[in-house]
């Protein structure tokens, strides 16, 4: 679309003399409009270096820069008539001699810019700004920005330090009483993963104690309420006389459940009044089920008890309600205590993490936003910073505005405040342009909110009106990409009022038009694959029967793979391209990387269909990489019998269960390694492992693993056992080993420790297209196109954590904070 004539609405959005807010659905040419406005600003006299264009990703920034260079380079070569037509088609401007002359000079002007065009992500812009004013921001001039892997390493170190620090013993003990080891590990991962909102929460409420108090208020609990006080009050309020009679009736006429209750009831009644709270847990169990819910009164009390004392049912009913209310209050108090403990641990991890960054002179991506926002809001420094910037920024263009979070909007608004304050430092029209699509606001985990998009639009509109400048609110609804069938499906989905309200827009306002109205399109809706009914298994049932691998995800993966295979085998035509369908035309989108992705990759490879695999992977979760790590762990501690058994059963040794049993059984206190050394039948395995032991003593990690894979045939063994899909993760693991040597002294033990602790997630570049089926998450596929898209993950309900509590805003704050309790 780079040379297509602008539509009327696109041309209006490209007008450089007005602020513009463009709501553009996918495929409506928003990048084309953004480029058109950028070109028009330069053609009408704005110096290229005075335009700031903010994009969401580095890939989008590179695409924008490439489009710009391509257009400006073309303009240097065109004759007058062709140039006039191109300028009008590209940015809606009627060219005269001055415009033509400027168009031909722009390519050279852009090349001569010392720092190039300011087409950056918001993080790159913040990094450049902080590098320009480091002292004003309170930073070292030599600060460095750490990537996600380096941040994960520092966070893991901070977590490990906090877990052994005696200062956190009480908080950790309280958490340990409430959750098991697995859930405790998940909690620490969650605290680390939520460091940005957690940090904001702690700052908003002045630390963990402030948050705990806010939670207590939000749950309707008194500030001085605690478990001891609630139990004492509940014990004192017990109807003692009625309970004494109830105990006697239970003993004389009760059935099995009532007889079981007599002991606990009598113990509660016979205990001195001041000591009764110690008996409360056993007493409460009389009136509650095992799950803590109120006990049903169908058979409690029994008919014999009611016949002996008709009022017994009323006494029990009242006490069930009272005890249940008390226990609910106790649960809330425990939740507050658990939340406070988790927040103290989280606060300690963040504090340690911040200290580690400060010592290293490092900032992570969140710091770039936070430090820039603080710098631009500093009452002492901000005027000076903005004065200096006032001479360098005349127009701000924001791409993917729906994914810009509130903190980032505050930075943008600080930068553009002078645009609406009259003449500013110079007398010229200075504008804000934003383009986005609220339907594509899918980065909530990074702080993006559909509501923030609408709120920012209203603020820009109101400021423009107050300043007496033009503001265009534009909707682009004509898609140049999708066919009518696809767009009609989208409209049908969002015809539901609840669905459209979830986008933060009014019902009835969502509509799409297809430019390719006559082109064919197809939407298939398949029957839902339902999970098979599984029989109830007895607790501790021995796993003697093999469960069939026949679940809904596996069956759906087979159906999708079969459909793709049929498309390719029968050479179905892709009408829009006038050729047969190829594997690279197909994209499979999922919401999460569940077992379905693994099933689908396997099903496609069985059918010999080229597949790119998942768009990202955690390298250390791949089986081949785990085998390599187990081998390295053996060289570090040969006496670890369990790990050695893993190596022996793996691809590098490949012994059977029977052989392993023969080696391990009856060895007494001897290590498995010592037994293996003496086994003549396994001499070749011993020799291989012995060589690895020697290599680990003097080789760097990369050299060690490269030798195992290549010289010792490890790669061939892994492929023979696990298939060719191991190639990518193994190569990524080698790359990690090589890169690690650039950041740290070469040490196999330290490398294994770092890579297993950090997880080592690797993202594939989606722009590097091969002729392969792509399997991606919705987030990873953002901005990409494919003529054939499968959506196999449409029926799952998004996770809803009922433990989330929204805290009310604090004074001078407009935010509402969701908090896990």
Are 35 and 487 within 8 A, CB to CB? no
Angstrom distance (rounded) from CA 180 to CA 196:
26
Report whether pLDDT(809) > 60. Answer: no
496 three-state secondary structure: coil
Residue 472 dihedral angles phi and psi, to the nearest 5°: -105, 125
Residue 288 dihedral angles phi and psi, to the nearest 5°: -125, 155
Listed in sequence order, the DSSP H helices in 469-622 are 484-493, 497-501, 552-569, 595-606
Q: What pLDDT digit, counting tens, does each position of 585-636 carry?
A: 999 999 888 888 888 988 998 898 988 866 667 888 889 999 999 999 999 9
Is-cis flag, bond preceding 136, omega within 30? no
Q: What pLDDT digit, counting tens, does each position of 283-308 carry?
A: 999 999 888 888 888 878 888 888 88
Q: What is the pLDDT of residue 760?
A: 67
Are 452 and 418 within 8 A, CB to CB? no
Q: What pLDDT digit, counting tens, does each position of 317-359 carry?
A: 999 999 999 999 999 999 889 988 988 998 899 899 999 999 9
Angstrom distance (rounded) from CA 14 to CA 8:
10
Cα-Cα-Cα-Cα dihedral of 31, 480, 72, 42, to 10°? -50
Query: Of 122-126, 609-613, 731-735, 758-762, which range is least confident?
Result: 758-762
Residue 19 has what DSSP assignment?
Answer: E
Angstrom distance (rounded) from CA 76 to CA 192:
52
Residue 227 has what DSSP assignment?
Answer: H
Report whether pLDDT(217) > 80. Answer: yes
Are 608 and 724 within 8 A, CB to CB? no
Residue whose C-alpha is closest to residue 35's, from 7, 9, 10:
10
What percentage of the chain reaches a pLDDT higher than 70? 89
Strands 817-820 and 804-807 come out as antiparallel
Angstrom distance (rounded) from CA 505 to CA 605:
43
Residue 142, phi-psi category: left (phi > 0), alpha (psi -120 to 50), beta (remainder): alpha
Are 75 and 103 within 8 A, CB to CB? yes
Angstrom distance (rounded) from CA 363 to CA 143:
7
Query: Of 131-140, 539-548, 709-718, 774-783, which range is least confident?
Result: 539-548
The predicted model scores a pTM of: 0.76
Report whether pLDDT(709) > 70. Answer: yes
Report whether pLDDT(186) > 80. Answer: no
Q: What pLDDT digit, counting tens, does each position of 745-792 carry?
A: 899 999 998 888 766 676 666 555 678 899 988 877 777 888 999 999
Are 284 and 323 within 8 A, CB to CB? yes
Other CB atoms within a 10 A radius of the CB of residue 393 amount to: 18
Domains in the chain, start-ordered, CATH in brackets? 8-131+367-476 (3.40.50.300), 164-360 (no CATH), 552-615+768-790 (3.40.50.300), 621-749 (1.10.486.10)
DSSP string across 304-343: HHHHH-TTHHHHHHHHHHHHHHHHHHHHHHHHHHHHHHHH
Angstrom distance (rounded) from CA 301 to CA 298:
8
Q: What pLDDT digit, counting tens, does each position of 150-162 carry?
A: 888 888 888 889 9
Q: What is the pLDDT of residue 409?
A: 92
**Residue 128, both tokens:** 């450049």
């Amino acid at each position: 679309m780079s040379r297509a004539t602008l539509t009327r609405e696109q041309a209006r959005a490209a007008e450089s003399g007005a602020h513009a807010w463009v709501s553009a659905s996918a495929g409506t040419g928003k990048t084309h409009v953004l480029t058109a406005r950028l070109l028009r600003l330069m053609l009408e006299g704005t110096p290229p270096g005075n335009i700031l264009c903010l994009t969401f990703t580095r890939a989008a920034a590179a695409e924008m820069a490439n489009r710009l260079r391509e257009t400006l380079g073309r303009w240097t070569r065109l004759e007058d008539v062709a140039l006039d037509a191109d300028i009008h088609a590209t940015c809606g401007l009627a060219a005269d001699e001055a415009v033509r002359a400027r168009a031909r000079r722009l390519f050279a002007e852009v090349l001569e810019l010392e720092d190039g065009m300011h087409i950056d992500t918001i993080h790159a812009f913040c990094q450049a700004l902080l590098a320009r004013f480091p002292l004003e921001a309170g930073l070292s001039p030599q600060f460095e920005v750490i990537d996600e892997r380096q941040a994960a390493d520092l966070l893991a170190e901070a977590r490990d330090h906090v877990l052994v620090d005696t200062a956190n013993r009480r908080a950790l003990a309280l958490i340990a009483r409430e959750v098991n080891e697995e859930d405790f590990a998940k909690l620490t991962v969650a605290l680390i993963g939520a460091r940005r909102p957690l940090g904001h929460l702690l700052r908003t409420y002045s630390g963990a104690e402030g948050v705990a108090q806010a939670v207590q208020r939000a749950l309707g609990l008194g500030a001085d309420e605690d478990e001891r006080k609630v139990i004492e009050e509940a014990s004192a309020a017990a109807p003692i006389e009625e309970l004494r009679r109830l105990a006697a009736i239970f003993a004389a006429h009760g059935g099995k459940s009532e007889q079981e209750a007599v002991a606990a009831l009598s113990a509660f009644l016979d205990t001195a009044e001041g000591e009764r709270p110690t008996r409360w847990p056993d007493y409460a169990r009389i009136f509650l089920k095992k799950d803590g819910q109120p006990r049903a009164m169908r058979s409690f009390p029994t008919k014999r008890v009611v016949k002996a004392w008709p009022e017994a049912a009323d006494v029990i009913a009242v006490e069930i309600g009272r005890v249940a209310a008390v226990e609910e209050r106790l649960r809330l108090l425990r939740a507050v205590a658990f939340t406070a403990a988790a927040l103290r641990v989280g606060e300690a991890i963040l504090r340690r993490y911040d200290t580690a960054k400060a010592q290293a002179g490092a900032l992570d991506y969140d710091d770039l936003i936070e430090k820039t926002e603080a710098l631009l809001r500093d009452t002492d420094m901000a005027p000076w910073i903005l004065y200096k910037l006032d001479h360098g920024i005349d127009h701000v263009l924001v791409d993917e505005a729906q994914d810009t979070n509130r903190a980032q909007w505050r930075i943008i608004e600080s930068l553009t405040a002078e645009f609406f304050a009259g003449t500013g430092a110079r007398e010229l029209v200075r504008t804000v342009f934003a383009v986005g699509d609220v339907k594509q606001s899918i980065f909530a985990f990074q702080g993006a909110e559909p509501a923030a998009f609408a709120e920012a639009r209203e603020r820009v509109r109101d400021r423009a009106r107050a300043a007496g400048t033009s503001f265009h609110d534009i909707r682009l609804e004509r898609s140049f990409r999708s066919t009518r069938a696809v767009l009609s499906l989208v409209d049908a989905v969002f015809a539901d009022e609840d669905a459209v309200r979830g986008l933060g827009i009014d019902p009835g306002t969502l509509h799409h038009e297809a430019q390719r109205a006559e082109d064919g399109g197809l939407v298939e809706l398949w029957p839902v694959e339902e999970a098979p009914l599984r029989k109830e298994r007895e607790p501790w049932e021995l796993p003697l029967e093999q469960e069939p691998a026949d679940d809904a995800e596996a069956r759906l993966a087979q159906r999708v793979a079969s459909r793709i295979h049929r498309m390719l085998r029968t050479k179905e035509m892709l009408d829009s391209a006038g050729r047969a369908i190829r594997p690279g035309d197909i994209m499979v989108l999922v919401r999460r990387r569940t077992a379905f992705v693994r099933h689908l990759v396997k099903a496609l490879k069985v059918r010999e269909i080229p597949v790119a695999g998942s768009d990202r992977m955690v390298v250390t979760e791949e089986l081949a990489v785990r085998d390599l790590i187990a081998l390295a762990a053996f060289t570090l501690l040969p006496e670890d019998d369990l790990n050695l058994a893993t190596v022996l059963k793996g691809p590098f040794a490949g012994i059977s269960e029977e052989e392993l049993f023969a080696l391990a059984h009856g060895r007494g206190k001897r290590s498995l390694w010592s037994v293996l050394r003496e086994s003549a039948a396994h001499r070749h395995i011993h020799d291989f492992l012995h060589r690895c032991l020697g290599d680990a003593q003097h080789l760097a990690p990369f050299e060690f693993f490269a030798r195992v894979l290549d010289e010792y045939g490890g790669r061939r063994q892994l492929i023979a056992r696990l298939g060719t899909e191991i190639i990518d993760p193994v190569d990524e693991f080698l790359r990690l080993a090589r890169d690690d040597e650039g950041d740290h002294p070469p040490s196999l033990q330290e490398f294994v420790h770092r890579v297993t602790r950090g997880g080592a997630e690797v993202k594939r570049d989606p722009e590097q297209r091969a002729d392969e089926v792509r399997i991606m998450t919705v987030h990873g596929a953002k901005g990409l196109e494919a003529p054939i898209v499968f959506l196999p993950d449409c029926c799952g309900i998004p996770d809803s954590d009922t433990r989330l509590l929204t805290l009310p805003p604090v004074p001078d704050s407009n935010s509402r904070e969701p908090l896990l309790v």
